[in-house]
Structure 1
Amino acid sequence: AIVLLASFITNSIIDFTNAPLAGFVFQIVIITFILLLFGEIMPKVLATNKPLSFARLVAFPIHTLIRLLKPLNSILISSTSRIGKRFAPRKNISMDELSDALDITTDGITEEKKILHGIVNFGNIMVSEIMKPRIDVVAVEDDTSFSDLKKIVVESGYSRIPVFQNSFDGVKGILYVKDLIPFIEKDNSFRWQNLIRSPYFVPESKKINDLLAEFQQKRIHMAIVVDEYGGKNGIITLEDILEEIVGEISDESDDDVQLYSKIDNLNYLFEGKVQLNDFCKVVSCDDDIFDDIRGDAETLAGLILEITGQIPTKNELVRHKNFNFTIDAVDNKRIKRIKVQIIPTNDDGSKK
C-alpha cells in the first residue's frame, strides 16, 4: 500500500510520459529500496543496537497514532469480520477426521482419549453391536412361583428382569424389583404378575445415540431388542450405552466375569460370546477391520462362523488377515472359547 501511494505521489510530481523505463526504475526499484532501507532495515538496526533509547523515541508517536486511528481501525476490523462470516464457507469436520485427530494426540491422556473416541464413534454404533444376547439374559416365565421368583432375583442381582410366556420370543413385560419390595413378605400365592410393566421394543439396527435420547424421554433403562421378523434377540440397558463412552461400569452386584484373558501382548483367550466391538477395543484394532467378512455377526464366535460357514472342531485353526483363531472349546451348538494370536504387520500392512 505504501509503495502504491509513493508511486501515485511521484506521478503527480514528476512526469515520466516520455521516459517510461526511467519511471519504472524510479517508482519501483528506487522507491522500494528507500522504503525498505528507512522503513524496515534502519529501524531494526537501531532497535537492535539501542533498544531502550529507540523504544523511548517511538513509544509516544506510536501511542498517539493508535489512539487517533482507533475508530477507523475498529470500523475496518468489524466490517472485515462481518463480511468474512457472511461469505466464508463453513468447513464441517467429519467423524473420521475427528477420529484421526485424536489418534495423533499425545499418549499422556490415554483415558481421556478413550472417552473422546467413544463419543466420536457413539453415533455409528448399532444396538445389535452392544446388546446382551438372549442366551445370557436372566428372565423368568410368567408362571414362576413367587418363592422361586425371589430366589432368582437374589441370585441374579438385577433390578429389572424380563418376563416371558413359553419362550423368550413371548416377552410380556419387565419386572422391576423395587416394585416387589412392599410385597416381599407375601406368601407363595401372591400374584406378582400384576406388577409387570409394559416392555419397550427396539430394532437391532437402531443407533444407540437415538436410543439414548428415547431412554431419556421415556425415563426407562431397559429395552427388548427385536429382529426384522419380530424375534427377540436380547436386551439393551442404559448402562450398556453409557459404557460405550466411559468404559466398563462395575458395581458391587456385578459378578467378576472375565470375557477374555491376556496371555501376552500377542496372544489372548476370548469367550466366544464377546462382542466384536469389545474385541477390537481389547486388541486395539480398527472397528471396521472385519466389515468385509462379518456379515450379520456381532460376536467373535459369530465371526468365526461367517468365515468357516460351519461350526468348527476343537483346535481347528482359522486365519483371517493378521489374526490366527484357534478353537479352544466348542459343542454342537456354539463356539465357547477362542485363542487369538495377533501376527505383527509392517507399515505397509504386510506380515512380518
Structure 2
Amino acid sequence: MVVVFYFAAFFVATEFALVQTRKSALESALEAGKGNRRKLQTALKMVQNLNEYLSTTQVGVTLAGIILGWIGEGTIEILIVDALRIAPISETGLHAIGAILGVMLLTYLEVVLTEIVPKNLSIDMPMKMMMLVVTPLHYFHILFYPFVWLLNVSAAAIIHLFGLRPASESNDVLTQAEILRLSRNAVTGGMLDKNDLLYMQRAFDFNDKIAKDIMVDRTSLEVVDITDSVKTVINYYLRQGFSRFPVVANNDKDKILGYVYIYDLIRQAQVDDRILVSKLLRTIITVPEVTPIQGLLQQMIQKQTPIVVVLDEYGGTSGIVTDKDIYEELFGVVKDEIDNVSSEYILKNADGSYKISGKTTLYDFERFFRTKNKNFDESESVTIAGYLLENYKVKRDDVITIGQFDLKVVDLNHNYIDWLEVRRHAASPDEQNAPQDKPAEINGQK
C-alpha cells in the first residue's frame, strides 16, 4: 500500500509541476546551459504538449486512487478491528466501526500525502520537481500511451458535440493586462524590479498613443519669422532658452516653413549676424494628428529630424512633437538645462511659500524665481546656504531678507543650513527696474 501512496503522490506532483513550469523558464535554462540539457529538452517538449502529458498524469492518479480504494480500505479496516477487539463490542459492531474509521483515515492520508503535500512542493519549486519527475513521466507516457490516446480522442469528440474546440497550447497567449498583472506579482515577490514594471507599462501605453497625445499645442508654441535676422533670433533664444525654433511666414503658425538650430545661428553670428534666418533654414516634416508615436519615431529617425509639425484635419498646425516629448513617454520627465530647478531642491508649500534646500546654487535660485541679485554675483559662495553663512550669523528660525525674499532658517544641522523657508514680498521700485533673468518654462521645444 505504501508503494501505491508513492505513485499517487508522484502523479499529483507531476501534474502540478507540468502546469506550474513555464516554457520561458525552460528556454532560459537551455540558453544559459544550466542543468541537464537532455532533461530540459524533454521537459520543454512536455510543456509544449501539455494536454497529452496531463492526460498521462490523470490516468496515473485515477489508477492509483482505484487501487488505494480497493486494497487500502480493507487493510485499514482489518487493522482497526484487530485493535478494537479488546473492547466489549460485537463482531458486527467492530466491522461497522472499522469500516467508518477506515474510510476516514484512508481519506485523510490520501488527501494529505497524495494531494496537498506533493501539490505544495510542485507549486513552491516547479523547476526542481519537473527535473525530478521528467524521466519517470517519459516512460509512464510510453506505457500508458494507447490508453491516453483513446482518452484524448474520446474527449475531443465529446467537446466537438458541444460545438467547441479542444484546448490547444498554442492558444495560451497572454493579454497586456495579464502580462502587467503577472509582472506586478513578480514585483511583490521580489523577482522583478519595480522600475522594470514601470518601463513595461510605459511601453504598452507608448504603443497606444498618437502624435496629438504628446504634442506641444500651437497655443504654447514659440516661433520666429522668416524675415528675422540671426541676431534677433539669438536674442530671442537668450530670453526663451529653446535650442530650436520653427520658422513661419508672416508670423502665421499655420505656415511653418522649417526650423532653425541655435548652433547654426551662433556659428553664423561669428561671421555676420545681420543675415536672415531663411539662409539657415532646416527642413521640417509634417504628420497628421492620428500618427502613432511608434511610426512618428521611425519617421524622425529616417528623416534625421528632431522636430515635426503635427497637422489637424484641415491641414493647419495643431502643434509640434520633439524627440524629447517621445523619450519622456518612456522614461518620464527628463529635465535639462532650460527646465526649471529640480523639485528635489525647491518645493512649493500650500501657503505659497517655498521650501528650499541649502544645496541650491545661487544661479538656480535666481533662475527659479526669475530674479537677479548683484550681491550673488560678487559672492564667492556657490550655494544659498554658503552665501548666508558667509554673510550672516545665522541660527535656527532666523529670518533674513534679501531683496524681495524673506529666508527663514528652518533646519540648521551642525552649523550647516539644510532647509530654508522662502517667502516673496512685493518688489520695491528699484527692484522692479532691475534686470531679470527669465528661465524657460517646460514646453518640450528644446
TM-score by length of 1: 0.48
Structure with higher RCO (Cα < 8 A, 6+ apart): 2
TM-score by length of 2: 0.39
Higher relative helix content: 2
